[in-house]
Amino acid sequence: MSKLPNVTTSIFTVMSKMATEYNAINLSQGFPNFPVDERLTDIVSRLAKENVHQYTPMAGHPPLMNKIATLTQSSYNRTINPDTELLVTAGATQGIFTTILALVKENDEVIILDPSYDSYESPVLLCKAKPVRVALNDDYTPNWERIEKACSAKTRMMIINNPHNPTGKILTENDFIQLKNLLEKYPDIIILSDEVYEYITFEEKHISAHTKDFLLDRCVMVSSFGKSFHITGWKIGYTIAPEHLMKEIKKVHQFLVYSVNSISQFAISEYLDIVDVNLLGKFYQEKRDYFQKLLKNSRFELKACEGTYFQVASYANISDEDDVTFCKNLIIDHGVAAIPISTFYSDHKDQKLIRFCFAKDDFTLESAAKKLSEI
Ligand code: PMP
Ligand code: GLN
Protein backbone atom coordinates (compact mmCIF):
# COMPACT_ATOMS: atom_id res chain seq x y z
CA MET A 1 0.00 0.00 0.00
CA SER A 2 1.31 3.42 -0.92
CA LYS A 3 1.73 5.94 1.87
CA LEU A 4 1.24 8.75 -0.65
CA PRO A 5 -1.20 7.29 -3.20
CA ASN A 6 -1.96 10.60 -4.93
CA VAL A 7 1.60 11.80 -5.28
CA THR A 8 3.07 11.69 -8.77
CA THR A 9 6.34 13.02 -10.17
CA SER A 10 6.64 16.74 -9.38
CA ILE A 11 5.55 19.09 -12.15
CA PHE A 12 8.99 20.77 -11.94
CA THR A 13 10.66 17.49 -12.86
CA VAL A 14 8.14 16.73 -15.58
CA MET A 15 8.44 20.11 -17.28
CA SER A 16 12.22 20.40 -16.98
CA LYS A 17 12.61 16.90 -18.44
CA MET A 18 10.28 17.73 -21.33
CA ALA A 19 12.15 21.01 -21.92
CA THR A 20 15.40 19.03 -22.26
CA GLU A 21 13.81 16.41 -24.55
CA TYR A 22 12.43 19.07 -26.90
CA ASN A 23 15.38 21.43 -26.54
CA ALA A 24 13.02 24.14 -25.34
CA ILE A 25 13.93 27.27 -23.38
CA ASN A 26 13.28 26.29 -19.79
CA LEU A 27 11.30 28.93 -17.89
CA SER A 28 9.52 26.23 -15.88
CA GLN A 29 11.40 24.95 -12.81
CA GLY A 30 12.69 27.83 -10.72
CA PHE A 31 16.47 28.10 -11.02
CA PRO A 32 18.84 30.77 -12.34
CA ASN A 33 20.81 30.04 -15.52
CA PHE A 34 23.42 32.79 -15.18
CA PRO A 35 26.87 32.25 -13.65
CA VAL A 36 27.27 32.23 -9.89
CA ASP A 37 29.26 35.14 -8.36
CA GLU A 38 32.92 34.45 -9.13
CA ARG A 39 33.87 35.43 -5.59
CA LEU A 40 31.84 32.46 -4.37
CA THR A 41 33.29 29.99 -6.87
CA ASP A 42 36.79 31.25 -5.99
CA ILE A 43 36.09 30.52 -2.33
CA VAL A 44 34.98 26.99 -3.22
CA SER A 45 38.09 26.35 -5.36
CA ARG A 46 40.37 27.40 -2.54
CA LEU A 47 38.41 25.57 0.16
CA ALA A 48 38.42 22.33 -1.84
CA LYS A 49 42.11 21.91 -0.97
CA GLU A 50 41.59 22.67 2.72
CA ASN A 51 40.34 20.62 5.64
CA VAL A 52 36.61 21.08 5.02
CA HIS A 53 35.52 17.63 3.96
CA GLN A 54 34.31 15.96 7.15
CA TYR A 55 31.07 16.18 9.10
CA THR A 56 30.21 19.56 10.55
CA PRO A 57 28.46 19.59 13.94
CA MET A 58 24.89 18.32 13.60
CA ALA A 59 23.11 21.69 13.65
CA GLY A 60 25.59 23.33 11.27
CA HIS A 61 29.08 24.75 10.78
CA PRO A 62 29.44 27.10 13.81
CA PRO A 63 30.90 30.14 11.92
CA LEU A 64 28.06 29.87 9.39
CA MET A 65 25.52 29.71 12.20
CA ASN A 66 26.97 32.85 13.79
CA LYS A 67 26.77 34.65 10.45
CA ILE A 68 23.14 33.59 9.91
CA ALA A 69 22.42 35.04 13.35
CA THR A 70 24.17 38.28 12.31
CA LEU A 71 22.20 38.35 9.04
CA THR A 72 18.93 37.86 10.92
CA GLN A 73 19.91 40.70 13.24
CA SER A 74 20.83 43.09 10.44
CA SER A 75 17.86 42.21 8.22
CA TYR A 76 15.13 42.05 10.86
CA ASN A 77 16.61 43.33 14.09
CA ARG A 78 15.92 39.93 15.66
CA THR A 79 18.45 38.44 18.03
CA ILE A 80 18.62 34.65 17.88
CA ASN A 81 20.78 32.23 19.80
CA PRO A 82 22.46 30.14 17.10
CA ASP A 83 23.10 27.30 19.57
CA THR A 84 19.47 26.80 20.46
CA GLU A 85 17.31 28.43 17.78
CA LEU A 86 19.00 27.66 14.47
CA LEU A 87 19.49 24.64 12.22
CA VAL A 88 21.30 24.47 8.88
CA THR A 89 19.33 22.22 6.52
CA ALA A 90 19.67 20.56 3.14
CA GLY A 91 17.68 23.31 1.45
CA ALA A 92 14.40 24.73 2.68
CA THR A 93 12.75 21.48 1.57
CA GLN A 94 14.42 19.55 4.36
CA GLY A 95 13.67 22.34 6.83
CA ILE A 96 9.97 22.12 5.93
CA PHE A 97 9.85 18.32 6.02
CA THR A 98 11.79 18.03 9.27
CA THR A 99 9.69 20.70 10.98
CA ILE A 100 6.40 19.06 10.03
CA LEU A 101 7.63 15.58 10.98
CA ALA A 102 8.84 16.85 14.35
CA LEU A 103 5.85 18.99 15.32
CA VAL A 104 2.72 17.50 13.71
CA LYS A 105 1.06 14.40 15.17
CA GLU A 106 -1.51 11.91 13.90
CA ASN A 107 -4.99 13.47 13.45
CA ASP A 108 -3.67 17.02 13.79
CA GLU A 109 -4.84 19.46 11.14
CA VAL A 110 -2.53 21.73 9.16
CA ILE A 111 -3.84 24.77 7.27
CA ILE A 112 -2.28 25.05 3.81
CA LEU A 113 -3.32 27.91 1.57
CA ASP A 114 -4.47 27.13 -1.96
CA PRO A 115 -2.60 27.57 -4.31
CA SER A 116 0.60 26.49 -2.58
CA TYR A 117 4.09 25.24 -3.29
CA ASP A 118 4.15 21.45 -3.47
CA SER A 119 6.36 20.59 -0.46
CA TYR A 120 3.84 21.05 2.31
CA GLU A 121 1.13 18.46 1.89
CA SER A 122 3.09 15.20 1.68
CA PRO A 123 4.93 15.51 5.01
CA VAL A 124 1.58 16.29 6.67
CA LEU A 125 0.09 13.12 5.16
CA LEU A 126 3.12 11.07 6.23
CA CYS A 127 2.40 12.20 9.81
CA LYS A 128 -1.15 10.82 9.37
CA ALA A 129 -2.36 14.35 9.92
CA LYS A 130 -4.89 16.21 7.77
CA PRO A 131 -4.00 19.00 5.35
CA VAL A 132 -6.83 21.54 5.36
CA ARG A 133 -6.62 23.58 2.19
CA VAL A 134 -8.03 27.11 2.35
CA ALA A 135 -8.42 29.04 -0.90
CA LEU A 136 -6.72 32.40 -1.23
CA ASN A 137 -8.85 35.26 -2.58
CA ASP A 138 -8.91 35.76 -6.35
CA ASP A 139 -6.16 38.38 -6.02
CA TYR A 140 -4.12 35.80 -4.02
CA THR A 141 -4.43 37.63 -0.72
CA PRO A 142 -5.26 35.38 2.26
CA ASN A 143 -8.96 35.18 3.08
CA TRP A 144 -8.78 35.52 6.87
CA GLU A 145 -12.47 34.80 7.36
CA ARG A 146 -12.14 31.49 5.55
CA ILE A 147 -8.92 30.71 7.41
CA GLU A 148 -10.59 31.31 10.77
CA LYS A 149 -13.52 29.09 9.80
CA ALA A 150 -11.05 26.32 8.97
CA CYS A 151 -9.34 26.50 12.37
CA SER A 152 -10.38 24.26 15.23
CA ALA A 153 -8.99 22.67 18.37
CA LYS A 154 -7.37 20.14 16.05
CA THR A 155 -5.35 22.75 14.14
CA ARG A 156 -1.68 22.32 15.00
CA MET A 157 -0.01 24.38 12.31
CA MET A 158 -0.63 26.92 9.58
CA ILE A 159 1.84 27.26 6.72
CA ILE A 160 2.44 30.63 5.13
CA ASN A 161 4.71 31.29 2.17
CA ASN A 162 5.82 34.90 1.87
CA PRO A 163 6.76 35.98 -0.84
CA HIS A 164 4.48 33.43 -2.44
CA ASN A 165 5.33 30.81 -5.01
CA PRO A 166 3.74 30.68 -7.60
CA THR A 167 1.81 33.98 -7.45
CA GLY A 168 4.55 36.44 -6.44
CA LYS A 169 2.23 37.93 -3.81
CA ILE A 170 3.57 39.27 -0.51
CA LEU A 171 1.83 39.60 2.86
CA THR A 172 0.90 43.06 4.17
CA GLU A 173 0.89 44.61 7.65
CA ASN A 174 -2.87 44.06 7.65
CA ASP A 175 -2.36 40.33 7.02
CA PHE A 176 -0.14 40.15 10.08
CA ILE A 177 -2.75 42.00 12.16
CA GLN A 178 -5.34 39.43 11.05
CA LEU A 179 -2.93 36.61 11.82
CA LYS A 180 -2.29 38.04 15.28
CA ASN A 181 -6.03 38.22 15.98
CA LEU A 182 -6.46 34.64 14.82
CA LEU A 183 -3.59 33.29 16.89
CA GLU A 184 -4.89 35.01 20.01
CA LYS A 185 -7.97 32.81 19.68
CA TYR A 186 -5.94 29.65 18.99
CA PRO A 187 -2.98 29.56 21.36
CA ASP A 188 -1.85 26.09 20.23
CA ILE A 189 -1.39 26.84 16.53
CA ILE A 190 2.18 27.21 15.36
CA ILE A 191 3.20 28.94 12.13
CA LEU A 192 5.56 27.54 9.56
CA SER A 193 6.74 30.55 7.58
CA ASP A 194 8.39 29.66 4.27
CA GLU A 195 10.39 32.77 3.37
CA VAL A 196 12.81 31.38 0.80
CA TYR A 197 12.27 34.46 -1.40
CA GLU A 198 12.69 36.86 1.55
CA TYR A 199 15.26 39.02 -0.26
CA ILE A 200 13.40 39.03 -3.59
CA THR A 201 10.71 41.71 -3.30
CA PHE A 202 10.19 44.75 -5.43
CA GLU A 203 8.08 47.89 -4.86
CA GLU A 204 6.95 46.79 -1.40
CA LYS A 205 9.27 45.68 1.37
CA HIS A 206 9.15 42.09 2.61
CA ILE A 207 7.58 41.76 6.06
CA SER A 208 9.19 38.80 7.76
CA ALA A 209 7.67 36.74 10.54
CA HIS A 210 10.93 37.58 12.36
CA THR A 211 9.71 41.15 12.87
CA LYS A 212 6.49 40.20 14.65
CA ASP A 213 6.83 39.79 18.41
CA PHE A 214 3.63 37.75 18.66
CA LEU A 215 5.20 35.10 16.37
CA LEU A 216 8.64 34.73 17.91
CA ASP A 217 7.62 32.03 20.36
CA ARG A 218 5.42 30.06 17.96
CA CYS A 219 6.86 30.36 14.47
CA VAL A 220 9.33 28.25 12.52
CA MET A 221 10.94 30.22 9.72
CA VAL A 222 12.64 28.50 6.77
CA SER A 223 14.93 30.08 4.23
CA SER A 224 17.26 28.95 1.46
CA PHE A 225 20.66 30.12 0.24
CA GLY A 226 19.68 28.47 -3.04
CA LYS A 227 17.45 31.45 -3.82
CA SER A 228 19.49 34.21 -2.21
CA PHE A 229 22.84 33.27 -3.80
CA HIS A 230 21.68 31.71 -7.12
CA ILE A 231 22.86 28.24 -6.00
CA THR A 232 19.71 26.10 -5.96
CA GLY A 233 21.75 22.93 -6.54
CA TRP A 234 23.79 23.36 -3.37
CA LYS A 235 20.69 22.63 -1.30
CA ILE A 236 21.66 24.63 1.77
CA GLY A 237 19.03 26.43 3.78
CA TYR A 238 18.23 27.11 7.39
CA THR A 239 15.46 26.97 9.92
CA ILE A 240 14.96 29.33 12.84
CA ALA A 241 12.60 28.47 15.68
CA PRO A 242 12.21 29.14 19.40
CA GLU A 243 14.18 26.70 21.52
CA HIS A 244 11.19 24.59 22.62
CA LEU A 245 10.29 23.87 18.98
CA MET A 246 13.88 23.69 17.71
CA LYS A 247 14.67 21.01 20.29
CA GLU A 248 12.09 18.75 18.66
CA ILE A 249 13.11 19.69 15.11
CA LYS A 250 16.75 18.78 15.86
CA LYS A 251 15.70 15.35 17.14
CA VAL A 252 14.32 14.51 13.69
CA HIS A 253 17.13 16.25 11.84
CA GLN A 254 19.83 14.14 13.47
CA PHE A 255 18.30 10.96 12.06
CA LEU A 256 17.17 12.37 8.73
CA VAL A 257 20.53 13.75 7.60
CA TYR A 258 22.59 14.25 10.79
CA SER A 259 24.47 17.17 9.23
CA VAL A 260 24.49 18.79 5.79
CA ASN A 261 27.11 19.27 3.08
CA SER A 262 30.26 20.62 4.69
CA ILE A 263 32.13 22.48 1.93
CA SER A 264 29.00 24.40 0.94
CA GLN A 265 28.55 25.53 4.54
CA PHE A 266 32.19 26.67 4.79
CA ALA A 267 31.90 28.53 1.49
CA ILE A 268 28.61 30.26 2.30
CA SER A 269 30.00 31.25 5.67
CA GLU A 270 32.92 33.09 4.02
CA TYR A 271 30.71 34.52 1.28
CA LEU A 272 28.35 36.06 3.82
CA ASP A 273 31.22 38.39 4.83
CA ILE A 274 31.35 39.99 1.38
CA VAL A 275 27.90 39.66 -0.20
CA ASP A 276 25.04 42.12 0.20
CA VAL A 277 21.68 40.33 0.13
CA ASN A 278 19.92 43.67 -0.10
CA LEU A 279 21.00 44.00 -3.74
CA LEU A 280 18.93 40.97 -4.74
CA GLY A 281 15.57 42.73 -4.91
CA LYS A 282 16.84 45.34 -7.36
CA PHE A 283 18.59 42.67 -9.43
CA TYR A 284 15.41 40.65 -9.88
CA GLN A 285 13.20 43.72 -10.23
CA GLU A 286 15.22 44.65 -13.31
CA LYS A 287 14.77 41.11 -14.67
CA ARG A 288 11.03 41.21 -13.97
CA ASP A 289 10.68 44.61 -15.67
CA TYR A 290 12.72 43.50 -18.67
CA PHE A 291 10.73 40.28 -19.08
CA GLN A 292 7.45 42.16 -18.77
CA LYS A 293 8.61 44.70 -21.36
CA LEU A 294 9.64 41.94 -23.74
CA LEU A 295 6.18 40.36 -23.46
CA LYS A 296 4.29 43.63 -23.73
CA ASN A 297 3.09 43.01 -27.28
CA SER A 298 2.40 39.30 -26.79
CA ARG A 299 -1.10 37.90 -26.29
CA PHE A 300 -0.24 36.79 -22.75
CA GLU A 301 -1.75 38.87 -19.99
CA LEU A 302 0.76 39.33 -17.18
CA LYS A 303 -0.36 39.38 -13.55
CA ALA A 304 1.14 41.55 -10.80
CA CYS A 305 4.43 40.26 -9.39
CA GLU A 306 5.48 41.71 -6.03
CA GLY A 307 8.26 39.26 -5.23
CA THR A 308 9.94 35.90 -6.10
CA TYR A 309 11.35 35.24 -9.57
CA PHE A 310 8.09 34.01 -11.03
CA GLN A 311 5.72 35.73 -13.43
CA VAL A 312 2.15 34.44 -13.70
CA ALA A 313 0.52 34.93 -17.10
CA SER A 314 -2.93 34.24 -18.52
CA TYR A 315 -3.18 32.62 -21.94
CA ALA A 316 -7.00 32.91 -22.03
CA ASN A 317 -6.69 35.07 -25.19
CA ILE A 318 -4.65 32.39 -26.90
CA SER A 319 -6.15 28.97 -26.21
CA ASP A 320 -8.99 27.03 -24.53
CA GLU A 321 -6.72 24.15 -23.61
CA ASP A 322 -6.35 23.29 -19.93
CA ASP A 323 -3.12 24.64 -18.49
CA VAL A 324 -1.25 21.31 -18.33
CA THR A 325 -2.01 20.60 -22.00
CA PHE A 326 -1.17 24.20 -22.90
CA CYS A 327 2.24 23.94 -21.18
CA LYS A 328 3.04 20.64 -22.90
CA ASN A 329 2.10 22.09 -26.29
CA LEU A 330 4.02 25.27 -25.52
CA ILE A 331 7.15 23.14 -25.27
CA ILE A 332 6.41 20.96 -28.30
CA ASP A 333 5.07 23.64 -30.67
CA HIS A 334 6.80 26.81 -29.48
CA GLY A 335 9.95 25.71 -27.65
CA VAL A 336 9.28 27.37 -24.27
CA ALA A 337 8.64 25.56 -20.97
CA ALA A 338 6.42 26.98 -18.19
CA ILE A 339 4.55 25.58 -15.18
CA PRO A 340 0.74 25.16 -15.18
CA ILE A 341 -0.72 26.97 -12.16
CA SER A 342 -3.43 24.32 -11.60
CA THR A 343 -0.74 22.02 -10.20
CA PHE A 344 -0.43 24.28 -7.14
CA TYR A 345 -4.13 23.79 -6.30
CA SER A 346 -5.46 20.84 -4.32
CA ASP A 347 -8.34 20.47 -6.82
CA HIS A 348 -6.20 21.25 -9.90
CA LYS A 349 -8.32 24.29 -10.70
CA ASP A 350 -7.63 25.33 -14.30
CA GLN A 351 -7.73 29.10 -14.81
CA LYS A 352 -5.68 29.32 -18.00
CA LEU A 353 -2.71 30.55 -16.01
CA ILE A 354 0.94 29.55 -16.26
CA ARG A 355 4.13 30.51 -14.41
CA PHE A 356 7.34 31.66 -16.06
CA CYS A 357 10.65 31.81 -14.16
CA PHE A 358 12.53 34.99 -15.07
CA ALA A 359 15.74 34.12 -13.17
CA LYS A 360 17.50 33.87 -16.54
CA ASP A 361 20.15 35.78 -18.46
CA ASP A 362 18.91 38.46 -20.84
CA PHE A 363 19.58 36.38 -23.95
CA THR A 364 17.37 33.56 -22.61
CA LEU A 365 14.59 35.98 -21.70
CA GLU A 366 14.83 37.66 -25.11
CA SER A 367 14.80 34.34 -26.99
CA ALA A 368 11.84 33.05 -24.97
CA ALA A 369 9.90 36.30 -25.31
CA LYS A 370 10.43 36.28 -29.08
CA LYS A 371 8.87 32.82 -29.31
CA LEU A 372 6.07 33.71 -26.90
CA SER A 373 5.26 36.90 -28.80
CA GLU A 374 4.80 34.96 -32.03
CA ILE A 375 1.96 32.84 -30.61
N1 PMP B 1 9.70 26.80 -0.67
C2 PMP B 1 9.40 27.43 -1.81
C3 PMP B 1 8.25 28.37 -1.83
C4 PMP B 1 10.15 27.20 -2.96
O5 PMP B 1 9.85 27.81 -4.08
C6 PMP B 1 11.23 26.29 -2.89
C7 PMP B 1 12.09 25.93 -4.06
N8 PMP B 1 12.05 26.51 -5.12
C9 PMP B 1 11.52 25.68 -1.68
C10 PMP B 1 10.73 25.94 -0.59
C11 PMP B 1 12.63 24.69 -1.55
O12 PMP B 1 13.86 25.31 -1.42
P13 PMP B 1 15.23 24.48 -1.50
O14 PMP B 1 15.55 24.33 -2.93
O15 PMP B 1 16.19 25.29 -0.74
O16 PMP B 1 14.96 23.16 -0.86
N1 GLN C 1 10.93 25.59 -6.09
C2 GLN C 1 11.22 25.41 -7.48
C3 GLN C 1 10.06 25.97 -8.30
O4 GLN C 1 9.08 26.40 -7.78
C5 GLN C 1 11.38 23.97 -7.85
C6 GLN C 1 12.12 23.12 -6.92
C7 GLN C 1 11.93 21.69 -7.28
O8 GLN C 1 12.07 21.32 -8.42
N9 GLN C 1 11.56 20.92 -6.33
O10 GLN C 1 10.16 25.95 -9.48
pLDDT in tens, 183-208: 999 999 999 999 999 999 999 999 99
Instruction: Decide: 165 in ligand 1 pocket, CB within 6 A.
Output: yes
- Claim to verify: residue 189 and residue 66 sit in the same structural domain: yes
- Claim to verify: residue 170 and residue 58 sit in the same structural domain: yes
In the prediction, which pLDDT does 34 show? 95
**Apex CA 114: angle with CA 239 and CA 178, to 5°?**
70
- Claim to verify: residue 360 and residue 282 sit in the same structural domain: yes
Does residue 3 belong to any structural domain of this protein? Answer: no
- Claim to verify: residue 157 and residue 99 sit in the same structural domain: yes
Among 120, 160, 196, residue to substitute to test ligand 1 (most atoms within 8 Å of Cβ): 196
Overall average pLDDT of the 254-271 stretch: 98
Which of 256, 271, 286 is the last residue before a domain boundary?
271
**Rounded Cα gap, residues 226 and 29, in angstroms:** 13
Nearest listed ligand to the Cα of residue 90: 1
- Claim to verify: residue 102 and residue 21 sit in the same structural domain: no
Ligand 2 mean position, distance from CA 143 (Å): 25
- Claim to verify: residue 264 and residue 288 sit in the same structural domain: no
- Claim to verify: residue 79 and residue 133 sit in the same structural domain: yes
- pTM score, whole prediction: 0.97
Among 9, 12, 33, 308, residue to substitute to test ligand 2 (most atoms within 8 Å of Cβ): 12
**Rounded Cα gap, residues 38 and 59, in angstroms:** 28
Does residue 115 belong to any structural domain of this protein? Answer: yes
Q: At what angle do helices 62-76 and 262-271 cross, to 10 degrees?
A: 40
Does residue 42 belong to any structural domain of this protein? Answer: no
Does residue 314 belong to any structural domain of this protein? Answer: yes
pLDDT in tens, 119-150: 999 999 999 999 999 999 999 999 999 999 99
Instruction: Decide: 10 in ligand 2 pocket, CB within 6 A.
Output: yes
**Domain holding 325: CATH number?**
3.90.1150.10
- Claim to verify: residue 28 and residue 61 sit in the same structural domain: no
Instruction: Decide: 312 in ligand 1 pocket, CB within 6 A.
Output: no
Residue nearest to atom 1 of ligand 2 (CA): 30
**Rounded Cα gap, residues 72 and 75, in angstroms:** 5
Instruction: Decide: 119 in ligand 1 pocket, CB within 6 A.
Output: yes
Helical ranges in 48-188 per DSSP H: 62-76, 82-85, 91-103, 121-126, 144-150, 173-185
**Domain holding 208: CATH number?**
3.40.640.10
Helical ranges in 218-313 per DSSP H: 225-228, 243-256, 262-271, 280-294
**Is there a contact between 75 and 277 (Cβ–Cβ < 8 Å)?**
yes
Q: In one letter, which amino acid is 290?
A: Y
Residue 241 pLDDT grade (very low, low, confident, very high; cuts 50, 70, 90) = very high
Q: What percent of the chain has pLDDT over 90?
A: 99
Residue 78 has pLDDT above 90, yes or no: yes
Backbone torsions φ then ψ of 214, nearest 5 degrees: -70, -15
Residue nearest to atom 3 of ligand 2 (CA): 30
232: left (phi over 0), alpha (psi -120 to 50) or beta: alpha
Which of 221, 242, 271 is the last residue before a domain boundary?
271
What's the domain count of the chain? 2
pLDDT in tens, 294-312: 999 999 999 999 999 999 9
pLDDT in tens, 164-184: 999 999 999 999 999 999 999
Residue 349 has pLDDT above 90, yes or no: no
Which of 271, 288, 316 is the last residue before a domain boundary?
271
Overall average pLDDT of the 21-36 stretch: 97
Query: What is the span of the domain harbouring residue 162?
Result: 52-271
In the prediction, which pLDDT does 230 show? 97
- Claim to verify: residue 164 and residue 299 sit in the same structural domain: no
